[in-house]
Chains A and B, each alone.
Chain A
Amino acid sequence: MRNRATGLLAGMAFTLACGTSAFAQELTIFWAEWDPANYLQELVNEYEAETGVRVTVETTPWSDFQTKAFTEFNARGSAYDMVVGDSQWLGAASEAGHYVDLTEFFNKHNLSEVMAPATVKYYAEYPSNSGKYWAIPAEGDAVGWSYRKDWFEDPAEMAAFKEKYGYDLAPPETWAQMRDIAEFFHRPDDNRYGIAIYTDNSYDGLVMGVENAIFSYGGELGNYETYEVEGIVNSEQNVKALEVYRELYGFTPPGWAKTFFVENNQAITENLAAMSMNYFAFFPALVNEASNPNAAVTGFFANPTGPDGDQFAALGGQGISIVSYSENQEEAMKFLEWFIRDDVQKRWAELGGYTAHAKTLESEEFRNATPYNEAFYQTMFKVKDFWATPEYAELLIQMNQRIYPYITAGEGTAKDALDALAADWKSTFEKYKRYE
């Protein structure tokens, strides 16, 4: 019996050993399940053709992307060599030693200038302004807006709008105009509604939606270096921003209380709303006749400015990091060197990936490639992001708990919600000794 078991184990070990040696030239990248991951797979197929190293992009649905990635990290598993992780993971993953420090690589290739500055700041650097880098900006993304050109350009609507509001109906340049237009098109009796916004509070949907208002109203979520929040997250600008978001919620289609990127694209494809907030990464589906019957009449605009002319959008997108438990770190480094090459970044953009590569972004070719690339280019230099500290998930949940009842049910006031949030965040930072 014992002999048989030993034999079996030896056999298994042998198979594993053969396995690893036969596929040493293989890399696995972990990402969420969405179109950009398919484009990345196409891109890395070219890497295989060039070098013979097989790269596989493994995906999982967004809803358990974070859980699955961190479960693998926590177990120190080597299943993934690289991960295209969310920007807010940087703190948790770098402090826990899950990511390989890429500072040297970053400086050697002068990436802080090669990539758009905002993407470097939010996708790669942690802590804020420390000069330490943990990821290479891979998929740039930010919030933009789609709208129904046919509704906006209808002469009867234009005349009625001008009469009511005293200025011409056009894609909004300010949040105040956006509010007016949403109100104007909100006609529940005709099954037409003003606007689609993010409201899903199960992860970061609602918070990212609100960030678009907060940042454009000139507000901030806190000082990311000193962890100061009192008077910043509950500032006057933020109160106003939250109030306008609440007002916009009143012009959304019925049942709009758990919505994120899927629903917001549906708002356009199903003729529900005049304008819809969404990440640029989801816009390819809106210009495709097959997935959007209204493709020909769908237009795009960048996040409008706030009352003081500030214009910022919530950052999405991800950087690519090397997992420190990977057994193929050297191969992964070689892959990243290939990935940041100018021609590869250009090819990445052609395939549908949203490059963060400054030179490619600035090229005329890129900016004219799709109806939304121009808006994307403008936005990518004006993005801001949520906290990236290891305790970001707690901050996110606290923010959801405080603002969701106000926005969707009108409970309390914006000021109360944000004052309470400031207190929550302060005590969380105290708990993690951020002020010492």
Chain B
Amino acid sequence: MATLVMTRLDPQSRAARRGWSDLTIRNAFIIPTIVFLIVFNIFPLLYSLYYSFTDFRASTNAPANWVGLANYRELLNDPFIWANFAITAKYVIVSVAGQVIVGFGVAMLLNRSIPFKGFITTLLLLPMMLSMAVVGLFWKLLYDPSFGIINYALGLGRFEWLSNPDMALYAVAITDIWMWSPFVMLLSLAGLSAVPKHLYEAAAIDRAGPFYTFFRITLPLVAPILMIAIIFRTMEAFKTFDLAFILTSQPSAEVISIRLYKMAFQEWQTGMSSALAYIMLIMVVAITNIYVKYLNKVKER
């Protein structure tokens, strides 16, 4: 069956002379990958699923006891965990919305012939290439109330970005928007340049206004690729750890992954933290699925 799908091996090739069939070559490429996936992804995934039903602690030699759904029950009854989830949701919405607005906006600005377009685009992409931890460390300096350049530039005096409980999460989101808008911009730019020019010409002939053109031509045609950017950014934002961990320790900015880290590697509650990781995984998969469904619908149009 598989041989029907594959192109036949060229009889003159070196592989054919060595007596390899195309099936051998296929296996040589695929089997290592599958073994790698099983050993490093599937096995730990299943193993931690087992742990999530036990009271196992990696810091002791005590054997793991089966506790059934107790971990899940305790986690879902913990008001602090719910607070963490609410914070994460708020963070995802603010940060992804910000990135889409800024990224798409910049892409619209760049989607015309301007001098040094390539150079400007490259410069704009720089934030995305930095390490999260490094970005966190220097934004911490930028936000500093005593000597930070942000307060100085905006004339905010001693405004406390990171130690103000109402502001801390937004400060982290602003940093994330700065870092990842270029990613949305890059994908949007690809989408925008693929919109056929004749559609705009037709719209101009029909005397369509700029808003009409944007909402009826640009947005629907860029939507599929924009959706992909949103899926990636939502998944990443949901898992944010480094930025938030480095920038602030406000409980109002404690996203769920920070709580998970503390539970797993400070408290060493391995079983409980496996359960929390599973809850997060289910949530991410569910959210992504909704997006993918929507993406398919958009594509059909």
Q: Do A and B truly interact?
A: yes
| A231 on interface, CB distance cutoff 8 Å | no
Which residues from chain B contact A74 at a C-beta distance below 8 Å? 58-59
Closest residue of chain A to B60, judged by CB? A96
Cross-chain contact A255 with B60 (CB below 8 angstroms):
no
Known: A254-B158, A257-B162. A394 touches B249 (CB 8 A): no
Cross-chain contact B165 with A408 (CB below 8 angstroms):
yes
**How long is the Cα–Cα vector from A390 to B146 in the complex, in angstroms?**
40
B178 to chain A, nearest CB (A): 20
Number of A interface residues, CB 8 Å?
A: 33
0/1 per residue, B248-288, Cβ < 8 Å to A?
11110000000000100111110000000000000000000
Q: Which of the residues B162, B251, B269 comes within 8 Å of A394, measured between beta carbons?
A: B269
0/1 per residue, B187-225, Cβ < 8 Å to A?
000000000000000000000000000000000000000
**How long is the Cα–Cα vector from A253 to B147 in the complex, in angstroms?**
12
Cross-chain contact B61 with A393 (CB below 8 angstroms):
no
Cross-chain contact B59 with A201 (CB below 8 angstroms):
no
Cross-chain contact B163 with A408 (CB below 8 angstroms):
yes
| B144 on interface, CB distance cutoff 8 Å | yes
0/1 per residue, A371-414, Cβ < 8 Å to B?
00000000000000000001101101100010011001100000
Chain B, interface SS category: loop
Which residues from chain B contact A257 at a C-beta distance below 8 Å? 160, 162-163, 248-250
| A256 on interface, CB distance cutoff 8 Å | yes
Number of B interface residues, CB 8 Å?
A: 26
Residues 130-152 of B contacting A (Cβ, < 8 Å): 144-146
In the complex, identify which listed stretch (A65-73, A156-164, A358-366) lies at the interface while the others stay far away. Answer: A65-73
| A100 on interface, CB distance cutoff 8 Å | no
Which residues from chain A contact B267 at a C-beta distance below 8 Å? 391, 393-394, 397
Which residues from chain A contact B66 at a C-beta distance below 8 Å? none
Q: Which of the residues A70, A73, A201, A396 comes within 8 Å of B249, measured between beta carbons?
A: A201
Known: A73-B59, A390-B59. A67 touches B163 (CB 8 A): no
B162 to chain A, nearest CB (A): 6
Which residues from chain A contact B80 at a C-beta distance below 8 Å? 401
| A258 on interface, CB distance cutoff 8 Å | yes
A430 to chain B, nearest CB (A): 12
**How long is the Cα–Cα vector from A390 to B57 in the complex, in angstroms?**
11
Residues 56-112 of A contacting B (Cβ, < 8 Å): 66-67, 70, 73-74, 92, 95-97
Residues 155-184 of B contacting A (Cβ, < 8 Å): 158, 160-163, 165
**How long is the Cα–Cα vector from A74 to B165 in the complex, in angstroms?**
37
**How long is the Cα–Cα vector from A258 to B268 in the complex, in angstroms?**
23
| A203 on interface, CB distance cutoff 8 Å | yes
Cross-chain contact A202 with B268 (CB below 8 angstroms):
no
**How long is the Cα–Cα vector from A408 to B251 in the complex, in angstroms?**
10
Cross-chain contact A188 with B158 (CB below 8 angstroms):
yes
Known: A393-B268, A397-B262. A255 touches B249 (CB 8 A): no
Closest residue of chain B to A392, judged by CB? B267
| A191 on interface, CB distance cutoff 8 Å | yes
Cross-chain contact A92 with B265 (CB below 8 angstroms):
no
A433 to chain B, nearest CB (A): 11
Which residues from chain B contact A139 at a C-beta distance below 8 Å? none
**How long is the Cα–Cα vector from A391 to B62 in the complex, in angstroms?**
14
B12 to chain A, nearest CB (A): 28
| A200 on interface, CB distance cutoff 8 Å | yes
Which residues from chain A contact B250 at a C-beta distance below 8 Å? 257-258, 408
Cross-chain contact B251 with A405 (CB below 8 angstroms):
yes
Cross-chain contact A70 with B162 (CB below 8 angstroms):
no
**How long is the Cα–Cα vector from A203 to B62 in the complex, in angstroms?**
25
Closest residue of chain A to B249, judged by CB? A258
**How long is the Cα–Cα vector from A65 to B228 in the complex, in angstroms?**
39
Which residues from chain A contact B60 at a C-beta distance below 8 Å? 92, 95-96, 390
Cross-chain contact B265 with A255 (CB below 8 angstroms):
no
**How long is the Cα–Cα vector from A255 to B269 in the complex, in angstroms?**
32
Closest residue of chain A to B259, judged by CB? A397
Closest residue of chain B to A270, judged by CB? B146
Q: Which of the residues A70, A188, A201, A272 comes within 8 Å of B268, measured between beta carbons?
A: A70
Cross-chain contact B165 with A397 (CB below 8 angstroms):
no
Closest residue of chain B to A67, judged by CB? B265
Closest residue of chain A to B58, judged by CB? A74
Which residues from chain A contact B262 at a C-beta distance below 8 Å? 393, 397
Q: Which of the residues A70, A73, A405 comes within 8 Å of B165, measured between beta carbons?
A: A405
Which residues from chain A contact B161 at a C-beta distance below 8 Å? 255
Known: A66-B266, A394-B269. A255 touches B59 (CB 8 A): no
Which residues from chain B contact A390 at a C-beta distance below 8 Å? 59-60
Closest residue of chain B to A93, judged by CB? B59
**How long is the Cα–Cα vector from A277 to B59 in the complex, in angstroms?**
32
Q: Which of the residues B59, B61, B62, B249 comes within 8 Å of A202, measured between beta carbons?
A: B249
B154 to chain A, nearest CB (A): 15
Which residues from chain A contact B162 at a C-beta distance below 8 Å? 255, 257-258
Which residues from chain B contact A396 at a C-beta distance below 8 Å? 266
Residues 236-250 of B contacting A (Cβ, < 8 Å): 245, 248-250
Cross-chain contact B266 with A254 (CB below 8 angstroms):
no
Closest residue of chain A to B265, judged by CB? A67
**Apart from A391-B267, A396-B266, A404-B251, what are 20 other A-B pairs with CB-CB below 8 Å?**
A66-B266, A67-B266, A70-B58, A70-B268, A74-B58, A96-B60, A202-B245, A203-B266, A253-B146, A254-B160, A255-B158, A257-B249, A257-B250, A258-B162, A258-B163, A390-B59, A393-B262, A397-B267, A401-B80, A404-B249
Sampled A-B contacts (30; CB under 8 Å): A66-B266, A67-B265, A70-B58, A74-B58, A74-B59, A92-B59, A96-B60, A200-B249, A201-B249, A254-B145, A254-B158, A254-B160, A254-B163, A255-B144, A255-B146, A255-B158, A255-B161, A255-B163, A257-B163, A257-B248, A257-B249, A258-B249, A258-B250, A390-B60, A393-B262, A393-B267, A396-B266, A397-B262, A397-B266, A409-B165
Which residues of chain A have a CB within 8 Å of any CB of chain B?
A: 66-67, 70, 73-74, 92, 95-97, 188, 191, 200-203, 253-258, 272, 390-391, 393-394, 396-397, 401, 404-405, 408-409
Closest 8 CB pairs of A and B: A257-B163, A254-B145, A96-B60, A255-B145, A393-B267, A258-B249, A254-B158, A255-B163
